[in-house]
């Protein structure tokens, strides 16, 4: 009886070991497949983003009117969203915004910087390219150049001024409505 039990266990151990090895192999394949899909999605997003930037490099006037600018930003941001690193997505989004608004809002972007619209476009495109190259090579994104940082801060300041002006206009409109309602 003991011998039969030992024989059964001796036959069962290799089977269990084989099943464990197969399971481990399957887990490795699934992990590598997921990693490959993420990398492929990032590469596709990077290609989409670079294609949009290439169009602006060839003809900077493609983002002059509002509809074209909105479409450009949406197409670029679709590519940016494929990037898994949150900090890199934020930085790429800032560069895309600079590209999109440098032609039309250049005077606001130039506040606090010594850059003209063409220079801002170049800075933003170069930043995107450098970040994507580092990401695709598995390296950390390079530090932004100070000129890029000043341009982003200038545009963020411009956006804050617009939001503040809109809020003040809303408050003024509300005061006028109340005054009219009180006068009636």
Q: Is residue 91 part of a domain?
A: yes
Total domain count, the chain? 1
Q: What is the pLDDT of residue 90?
A: 92
Does residue 22 fall inside a structural domain?
Answer: no
Range of the domain at 126: 39-183
Q: Check pLDDT > 90 for residue 55.
A: no
CB 72 within 8 A of CB 52: yes
Contacts for 111-119: CB closer than 8 Å, 24+ residues apart: 111/154, 111/157, 111/158, 112/150, 112/153, 112/154, 112/157, 113/147, 113/150, 113/151, 113/154, 115/147, 115/150, 115/151, 117/60, 118/60, 119/147
Q: Is residue 5 part of a domain?
A: no
Residue 105 predicted with pLDDT over 70: no
Q: Is residue 51 part of a domain?
A: yes
Q: For a pLDDT cut of 90, what percent of the chain falls above it?
A: 11
Q: Give yes or no for a contact between 61 and 118, defined as CB atoms under 8 angstroms apart.
A: no
In a domain, 27, yes or no: no
Q: Is residue 153 situated within a structural domain?
A: yes
Among residues of the chain, what percentage have pLDDT more than 70?
Answer: 92
The yes-or-no verdict on residue 107 having pLDDT over 60 is: no
Residue at 165 is within a domain: yes
Inside any domain, residue 113: yes
- The C-alpha atoms of residue 9 and residue 109 are separated, in whole angstroms, by 76
Residue 113 has pLDDT above 70, yes or no: no
DSSP letter for 112, please: T
């Amino acid at each position: 009886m003991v011998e039969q039990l030992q024989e059964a266990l001796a036959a069962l151990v290799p089977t269990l070991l084989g099943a464990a090895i197969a399971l481990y192999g399957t887990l490795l394949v699934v992990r590598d497949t997921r990693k490959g899909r993420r990398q492929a999605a990032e590469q596709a997003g990077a290609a989409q983003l670079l294609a949009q930037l290439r169009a602006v490099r060839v003809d900077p006037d493609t983002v002059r009117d509002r509809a074209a600018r909105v479409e450009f930003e949406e197409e670029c941001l679709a590519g940016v969203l494929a990037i898994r690193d949150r900090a890199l997505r934020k930085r790429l989004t800032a560069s895309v915004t600079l590209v999109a608004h440098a032609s039309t809002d250049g005077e606001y972007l130039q506040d606090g910087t010594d850059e003209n619209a063409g220079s801002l476009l170049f800075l933003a495109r170069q930043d995107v390219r450098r970040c994507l190259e580092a990401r695709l090579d598995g390296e950390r994104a390079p530090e932004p150049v100070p000129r890029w940082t000043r341009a982003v801060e200038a545009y963020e300041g411009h956006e804050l001024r617009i939001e503040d002006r809109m809020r003040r206009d809303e408050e003024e409109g509300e005061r006028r409505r109340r005054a009219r309602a009180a006068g009636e």
